[in-house]
Amino acid sequence: MRRLNRKKTLNLMKELDAFPKVPESYVETSASGGTVSLIAFTTIAFLTIMEFTVYRDTWMKYEYEVDKDFTSKLRINIDITVAMRCQYVGADVLDLAETMVASADGLIYEPVSWFLPFYLKRKLVLQLIQSRLQEEHSLQDVIFKSAFKSASTALPPREDNSLQSPDACRIHGHLYVNKVAGNFHITVGKAIPHPRGHAHLAALVSHESYNFSHRIDHLSFGELIPGIINPLDGTEKIASDHNQMFQYFITVVPTKLHTYKISAETHQFSVTERERVINHAAGSHGVSGIFMKYDISSLMVTVTEEHMPFWQFLVRLCGIIGGIFSTTGILHGFGRFVAEIIFCRFRLGSYRSTSVPLPDGHTSNHLPLSTDNSTH
């Protein structure tokens, strides 16, 4: 009984076989078929390697939602060098809520030389990256995924040179401000408390010493992300006049970054620049200095690094293999069909009707039934 049941099971499985085996003696091989098979296998190998490369790669997914966090503080990371002595300039933040954050809360004034030889090469590299980012926005995904272990945007340690006296001021550090629109500015004189508003003590500084040429080595909002290049990193502005105003209008977008190397909450921003000479006689009013007016977007962006699932890779791989086999089989069959038609015409043309003499002197134009020349 067991043998009978086993036989029935085997017969049933044979009937369900979707891949019938044809004996090799029934299969006819050809040179054209071998050539097409070689091309098919080569194409499959090439596309498989390419598909595996795509499987190993990742991409960034962007999602947008309303930012509901209004109570936390916003961190501003600053590293700016101004071509004036530190005792002549002051930096602080004044927001729309009329809250002033003084530079003494987190900024350091460091006397430096304006000319930094090691900075020139770094500035050129940053400017090249910025230009490529403006042309190829997809490069930002590569920067997000890189997340270097060391902060490439940090200014290298300064090498003191006793032959050069400090003629500039490097203002660096970070400040915590409210998550509302505000104005970070660097202008002449130190900020002083004033009951009616905001003021800087600039009476003791002569106009001839005004020089707001500056380098922005680093400016970012939120948590520091190593390796991220911000829009103003590497910016250098040279003042053409003593009384000149540089304005940067910044829109800050809260960003949550989740990659395979790092997970953090930071902020991206876009910027618009403007500069003009202060000339009250010509109607150009204002205060000389560097003004960065920022506004916080109500939308939050979540950037997530994603990877192709393994099952999807298998499905795509099977589609490649099956599709190439089917396509090459169809093309090969169509090619043989066309070739047979062409060759058949040539063969039919070779069997033309011939005149056969008859014994009574007449001729017959019918084809001979046999082409055998042997005599019987």
For helices 139-146 and 117-135, angle between their N-to-C axes, nearest 10 degrees: 130
Q: Express each pLDDT in 254-275 by its tens digit.
A: 888 887 777 778 888 889 999 9
Q: How is residue 347 written in tokens?
A: 């063969």
Q: Is residue 179 part of a domain?
A: yes
| Predicted pLDDT of residue 155 | 47
Same domain? For 186 and 321 the reply is: no
| Predicted pLDDT of residue 228 | 73
Same domain? For 57 and 179 the reply is: no
Q: Which helix (H) or strand (E) holds 176?
A: strand 168-178
| Predicted pLDDT of residue 341 | 81
Q: Express each pLDDT in 271-295 by its tens digit.
A: 999 998 888 788 788 888 999 999 9
Q: What is the CA radius of gyration of the chain?
A: 40
Q: How is residue 15 written in tokens?
A: 């009937």
| Predicted pLDDT of residue 361 | 55
Residue 241 region by backbone torsions, left for phi larger than 0, else alpha for psi between -120 and 50, else beta: beta
| Predicted pLDDT of residue 352 | 52
| Predicted pLDDT of residue 136 | 57
Q: What is the pTM of this model?
A: 0.65
Same domain? For 189 and 201 the reply is: yes
Picking from 276, 297, 318, the residue at the C-terminal end of a domain is 297
Q: How is residue 192 written in tokens?
A: 């002083």
| Predicted pLDDT of residue 188 | 87
Q: How is residue 63 written in tokens?
A: 């999602």
Picking from 275, 297, 319, the residue at the C-terminal end of a domain is 297
- Residue 36: give the domain boundaries: 32-67+308-327
Any idea what DSSP says for residue 284?
Answer: B
Same domain? For 84 and 141 the reply is: yes
Considering only CA atoms, which of 288, 69, 267, 57 is closest in space to residue 186?
Answer: 288
Q: How is residue 269 written in tokens?
A: 């921003």
Same domain? For 204 and 313 the reply is: no
Cβ-contact 372, 358 below 8 angstroms? no
Same domain? For 51 and 140 the reply is: no
Q: Is residue 158 part of a domain?
A: no
Q: Is residue 277 part of a domain?
A: yes
To 5 degrees, how large is the angle CA 343–CA 346–CA 347? 85
Give the pairing type, strands 182-188 and 214-222: unpaired
Same domain? For 273 and 140 the reply is: yes
Same domain? For 85 and 54 the reply is: no
Same domain? For 130 and 42 the reply is: no
Say how far apart CA 15 and CA 28 lie, in whole Å. Answer: 26
- HSE-up of 8 (CA within 13 Å, CB side)? 5
Say how far apart CA 21 and CA 14 lie, in whole Å. Answer: 11
| Predicted pLDDT of residue 292 | 93
Total domains, the chain: 2
Same domain? For 227 and 110 the reply is: yes
Say how far apart CA 144 and CA 59 lie, in whole Å. Answer: 10
Same domain? For 43 and 183 the reply is: no
| Predicted pLDDT of residue 135 | 60
Q: Where are the alpha helices (DSSP H) in 244-375?
A: 310-350
Any idea what DSSP says for residue 104?
Answer: G
| Predicted pLDDT of residue 322 | 87
Counting as low any pLDDT under 50, the low residues of the chain are: 139, 148-155, 160, 162, 353, 367, 369-376
Same domain? For 54 and 109 the reply is: no
Cβ-contact 101, 174 below 8 angstroms? no
